[in-house]
């Protein structure tokens, strides 16, 4: 018989064995457990037919229709599962831990596999994920105006064996109007939250976790409210780096993109830059004078960031001046200040 397990056991075993998500392709696309493999029992259309039969006729009618779809594809499903892993142990889940996961688990056990079924299904995973965002953690925020190289410094901190989560990497967006350039399409909101949960799950809650200072949205993705509140109440290490250094950095980072994409990014913040500022920036891009265009945008972003910074709890802010953007030197200085108790 398949072994039903709770979400904690499921998460632990998922580090060793493949997870089979037997929900429909549409459900999987909307959001799934990171690392899970889609092995749908029903197509989107078949799921709709079964669901309609359940609501409008009876449970028996829905089960009969489901069996009609399931029976012809049993061997195909078993073969597909066996190809996923060389092993014989699988974790299986559907939406609520009901008939779909039970059916696939039964099938795989007929083929000699050991199967664990998630009690409560994907719904229990989502419940656990949302709960996790309010848990107490020792968070430190890396702050600094646009162009301070915060993402690079986070990577350097990671190399120095600090715990780091790069929220912008999870969101596939760098946060500004230019943030989608060079990135993959953003995940669904649900998938962003799922990935964040798994990253948090892997971290040691007794140790410091570094995050970049963000607004509540990264592109179109919203940082979960409870987690964002934790971020806002956490100490901030603020990088104070000269304007010209930051301007050179963003010109180098974003200057590689084509003029059309850069102009689109500028146009999205027309209301913020004003008519004259926008016109000047667009003309500068056309003329190949990217530094002038980015200077106009950077001055706007500085005003926005400073406004938010001034509204933070100043007692939790530790500022440090750096004349150059030397990420290794900055990361080492941050660690030094932590070890000497100089970060508030």
Examine the fold and report which residue of 130, 151, 180 is the final residue of a domain before the chain moves on: 130
Same domain, 120 and 153: no
Question: Is residue 124 domain-shared with residue 244, that is, in the same domain?
Answer: no
Same domain, 126 and 190: no
Residues 275, 279, 285, 286, CA torsion sign: positive
> How buried is 167 (Cβ within 10 angstroms: 0-12 exposed, 13-18 middle, 19+ buried)?
buried
One domain for residues 157 and 236 = yes
Q: Write down the pLDDT at residue 94.
A: 97
Q: Domain count for the chain, please give it.
A: 2
Range of the domain at 65: 3-130
Last residue of a domain, one of 130, 162, 189: 130
Neighbouring CB atoms inside 10 A of 169's CB total: 18
C-beta neighbour count of 189 within 10 angstroms: 15
Same domain, 81 and 212: no
User: Looking at residue 275, what is its pLDDT?
Assistant: 95
Residue pair 209/116 in contact (Cβ under 8 Å)? The answer is no
Q: What is the CATH number of the domain that holds 64?
A: 3.40.250.10
Active centre residues (catalytic) = 94
Phi, psi at residue 183, to the nearest 5°? -105, 155
Last residue of a domain, one of 75, 107, 130: 130
pLDDT tens, position by position, for the chain (344 residues)? 899 999 999 999 999 999 999 999 999 999 999 999 999 999 999 999 999 988 899 888 988 898 899 989 999 999 999 899 778 999 999 999 899 999 999 999 999 999 999 999 999 999 999 999 999 999 999 999 999 999 999 999 999 999 999 999 999 999 999 999 999 999 999 999 999 999 999 999 999 999 999 999 999 999 999 999 999 999 999 999 999 999 999 999 999 999 999 999 999 999 999 999 999 999 999 999 999 999 999 999 999 999 888 888 888 899 999 999 999 999 999 999 888 876 76
Residues 164 and 148 both lie in one domain: yes
CA distances from 90 to 102, 201, 301 (A): 13, 21, 49
The closest of 152, 319, 158 to 235, measured between CA atoms, is: 319
Q: Is residue 344 part of a domain?
A: no
Query: In terms of domains, do 163 and 241 share one?
Result: yes
């Amino acid at each position: 018989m398949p072994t039903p397990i709770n979400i904690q056991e499921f998460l632990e075993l998922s580090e060793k064995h493949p997870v089979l998500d037997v929900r429909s392709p549409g459900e999987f696309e909307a959001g799934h457990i990171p690392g899970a493999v889609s092995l749908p029992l029903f197509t989107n259309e078949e799921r709709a037919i079964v669901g309609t039969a359940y609501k409008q006729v009876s449970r028996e009618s829905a089960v009969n229709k489901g069996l009609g779809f399931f029976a012809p594809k049993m061997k195909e499903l078993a073969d597909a599962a066996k190809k996923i892993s060389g092993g014989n142990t699988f974790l299986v889940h559907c939406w609520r831990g009901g008939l779909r996961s039970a059916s696939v688990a039964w099938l795989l056990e007929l083929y000699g596999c050991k199967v664990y079924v998630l009690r409560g299904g994907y719904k229990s995973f989502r419940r656990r994920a949302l709960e996790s965002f309010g848990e107490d953690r020792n968070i430190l925020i890396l702050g600094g105006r646009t162009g301070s190289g915060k993402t690079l410094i986070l990577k350097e901190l990671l190399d120095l064996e600090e715990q780091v989560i790069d929220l912008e990497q999870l969101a596939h967006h760098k946060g500004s109007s230019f943030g989608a350039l060079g990135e993959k399409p953003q995940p669904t909101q649900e998938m962003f939250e799922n990935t964040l949960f798994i990253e948090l799950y892997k971290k040691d809650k007794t140790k410091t976790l570094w995050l970049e200072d963000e607004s509540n949205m990264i592109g179109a993705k919203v940082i979960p409210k409870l987690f964002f509140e934790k971020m806002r109440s956490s100490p901030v290490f603020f990088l104070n780096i000269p304007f010209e250094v930051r301007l050179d950095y963003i010109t180098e980072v974003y200057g590689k993109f084509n003029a059309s994409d850069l102009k689109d990014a500028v146009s999205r913040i027309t209301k913020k830059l004003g008519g004259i500022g926008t016109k000047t920036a667009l003309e500068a891009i056309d003329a190949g004078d990217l530094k002038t265009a980015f200077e106009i945008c950077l001055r706007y972003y500085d005003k926005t960031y400073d406004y938010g910074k001034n509204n933070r709890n100043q007692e939790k802010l530790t500022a440090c001046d750096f004349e150059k953007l030397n990420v290794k030197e900055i990361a080492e200085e941050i660690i030094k200040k932590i070890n000497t108790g100089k970060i508030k």
